[in-house]
Amino acid sequence: MSQDAVIVGAGLIGCGIAYELAKRGASVTVYDRAEPARAASWAGAGMLAPYSEEVVDPALLALCAASLRAYPAFVDDLRERTGLDAELRREGTLHVAFDDASADARSAQCDAFRRNGAAASVLDRDATLAREPMLGGNVRGAVYVANEAHVDNRRLGRALVAACTDAGVRFERTAGVALEADARRVRGIRTEHGFAAAGTVVNAAGAWAGQLEGVPAGARIAVRPVAGEMLALAVPKGFTRGLVWSQHVYLVPRDDGRLLIGATSVERNFDVRVTARGVQALLDVALRIAPVLGTFALVETWAGLRPASHDGRPYLGATSIGGYFVAAGHYRNGILLTPVTAQAIAALISGERPPVELAAFDPQRAPEAA
């Protein structure tokens, strides 16, 4: 089988790159040992919220902002091609204050958001309750960030896989993928089914990207898994409008009537159990945000692994091995960064100028590559 590019990892990042390459006429195969778009890309909350995530690194913030701008066209294109709507909702984020100290800190918080490019404003108690009437009577006010959004990342994953298939991308489910390369150039990959030649291989293996076998010293990257636990309640449709944050816990509405509550952040290797302590921590804050949430059914709990790089920036681009590219380490913002990553990596591979500056994300800055 002749193929131009192999992608290792069928998360949003790998599928996004595959789709962009296929649109440029490349023959692409995506290899994954599990079902496509089911790992972190399925587990995430789907927030497109770099300001609320407090991204302050200028290079990363610029990348996030570019991807946020690209989202409407990205989702529209997938809907037109597949009929699947990823439910992009641009309702902004409400950072709610429940005590004097956080109410007093609102204008400083608002200024900090604005300095990073957020369209932020301070809301008093009445204006806050007008935006989200479900909030508890204890609410003191909020900072509202208008230019953030959310998307249903599970629907997005299904749409992207369908769009890939429609564009001719092949998906192979196979264990034990290893890179085949000499000291200078990639030759392809080896799987349980044997060798598959390819002139281009992209490592988009999420939290496992640092473990890809066969990568020569000098092209290795460091990615560590940071687990996040989440849960969902069944609430009446339209119960909340946008994202609500307080004390590092967020509420994310879905059109189907689920309200997502997330997320913990724990470093315990590749362990994706949902712990009682994790659920308790999330519910403690959520029920403080809106005591009425305690009356609804808990319908789902799950956990996933955020892929964290050594310095918080993703690794994006070429490596010292010709034809071997990396797109991994998107940590807390991989859903947000999918469109810009897909377009930039596909452009780079195709010999085009990427739509964003990638120097700050050079995979060769990884300590392991030294």
Ligand X SMILES: Cc1cc2nc3c(=O)[nH]c(=O)nc-3n(C[C@H](O)[C@H](O)[C@H](O)COP(=O)(O)OP(=O)(O)OC[C@H]3O[C@@H](n4cnc5c(N)ncnc54)[C@H](O)[C@@H]3O)c2cc1C
Q: Is 33 in the site for ligand X (CB under 6 A)?
A: yes
217 binds ligand X (CB under 6 A): no
Nearest to 19, CA basis, from 358, 341, 287 = 341
Residue given tokens 């945000």 in the structure block: 289
Using CB under 6 A, pick the residue from 92, 188, 210, 228 that binds ligand X: 228
Q: Which of 6, 7, 47, 143 touches ligand X by CB under 6 A? A: 47
What binding mask, one character per residue, do residues 71-90 give for ligand X by CB under 6 A, x or -? --------------------
**Is 5 in contact with 27 (CB distance < 8 Å)?**
yes
**Per CB under 6 A, which region of 91-99, 163-171, 198-206, 359-367 contacts ligand X?**
198-206
User: With binding defined as CB under 6 A, does residue 34 bind ligand X?
Assistant: yes
Distance of CA 251 to the CA centre of its chain: 16
205 lies in the site for ligand X, by CB under 6 A: yes
Contact 197, 207 (CB under 8 A): no
Under the criterion CB under 6 A, does residue 92 sit at the interface with ligand X? no
Establish if 258 lies at the interface with ligand X (CB under 6 A).
Answer: no
Minimum CB distance to ligand X smaller for 22 or for 207? 207
Nearest-Å Rg of the Cα atoms of the chain is: 21
**Are the C-beta atoms of 45 and 232 separated by less than 8 Å?**
no
Is 153:40 a contact under the CB 8 Å cutoff?
A: no
Question: Least distance (Å) from ligand X to the CB of residue 285?
Answer: 15
Nearest distance, CB of residue 14 and ligand X, angstroms: 5
H helix or E strand, kind and range, residue 341: helix 338-349
Which residues are registered as beta bridge partners of 142?
Answer: 96, 123
Instruction: Tell me which residues in 148-177 interact with ligand X (CB under 6 A).
Output: 177
How many C-beta atoms surround the C-beta of residue 35 within 10 A?
13
Please give the residue ranges that form the binding site for ligand X (CB under 6 A). 8-14, 31-34, 39-41, 43-47, 177, 204-208, 212, 228, 230, 262-263, 304-307, 328, 330-336
